[in-house]
């Protein structure tokens, strides 16, 4: 299995902050990486796919970058609705795997 490691596991930030979450793959996955947002009691919501493509309807303050083994999710200006847990997911191999999650908390 390809292991996905996210950092940090928890992040405290204020509204308006620029937030960066990192995801590292245990082997190269090209750009086959997605990012999801999950709020308590809800299913994950797809934000980014193919490392940097924004899913329809997702605000442009979300952006993704990276390739190979290192990826980032950036929120350019954190909004109240963005406090949630974020997961990366690789789909380079048919047995997809997720990162452990990054919880974005209110500072």
Partner 1 sequence: QVQLQQWGARLLKPSETLSLTCAVYGGSLSGYYWNWIRQPPGKGLEWIGEINHGGSTNYNPSLKSRVTISIDTSKNQFSLKLNSVTAADTAVYYCARTICSGGSCYQIFNYWGQGTLVTVSS
Which residue ranges make up the site for partner 1 (CB under 8 A)?
A: 1, 32, 34, 41-44, 46, 49, 55, 87, 89, 91, 94-101
Show the DSSP H helices in 45-93 as ranges: none
CB of 69 to partner 1, least distance (A): 19
CB of 15 to partner 1, least distance (A): 26
Q: Name which of 17 and 92 has its Cβ closer to partner 1.
A: 92
- Answer yes or no: are the C-beta atoms of 87 and 44 closer than 8 Å: yes
Q: Name which of 69 and 89 has its Cβ closer to partner 1.
A: 89
Nearest to 51 by CA among 71, 25, 23: 71
CB of 42 to partner 1, least distance (A): 8
Tokens of 69: 């083994």
Q: Which residues of 95-106 are buried (b: 16+ CB within 10 A; e: fewer)?
A: eebebebbebee
Q: Name which of 18 and 105 has its Cβ closer to partner 1.
A: 105
């Amino acid at each position: 299995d390809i292991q996905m490691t996210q950092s940090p596991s928890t992040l405290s930030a204020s509204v308006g902050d620029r937030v960066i979450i990192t995801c590292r793959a245990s082997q190269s996955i090209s750009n086959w990486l997605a990012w999801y947002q999950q709020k308590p009691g809800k299913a994950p919501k797809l934000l980014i796919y193919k490392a940097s493509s924004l899913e329809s309807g997702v605000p442009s303050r979300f952006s993704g970058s990276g390739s190979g083994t290192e990826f980032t999710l950036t929120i350019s200006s954190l909004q109240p609705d963005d406090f949630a847990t974020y997961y990366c997911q690789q789909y380079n191999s048919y047995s997809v795997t997720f990162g452990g999650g990054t919880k974005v908390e209110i500072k």
